[in-house]
């Protein structure tokens, strides 16, 4: 129950990275992947 919000945030971050990756905005895609990884490292 404790990890619901962080998991949701990681999922949203990866979704944003996917959207920017499809649009070939590599810098923004990398930013959102890094945000997801940072959230995962801090949470788990």
Query: Which candidate, 18, 43, 7, 22, places its Cα nearest to that of 32?
Result: 18
* Domain ranges, residue 22: 4-43
Structural domain tally of the chain?
1
Q: Given a cut of 90, is residue 32 above it in pLDDT?
A: yes
Single pTM value for the model:
0.90
Q: Given a cut of 90, is residue 37 above it in pLDDT?
A: yes
The per-residue pLDDT for range 1-29, each reduced to its tens digit, is: 889 999 999 999 999 999 999 999 999 99
Q: Which residues contact 28 (CB under 8 A, 6 or more apart)?
A: 16, 20
**Terminal CA-to-CA distance of the chain, rounded, Å?**
13
């Amino acid at each position: 129950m404790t990890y619901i919000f962080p998991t949701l945030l990681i999922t949203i971050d990866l979704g944003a990275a996917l959207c920017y990756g499809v649009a070939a905005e590599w810098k923004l895609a990398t930013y959102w992947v890094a945000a997801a990884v940072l959230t995962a490292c801090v949470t788990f």
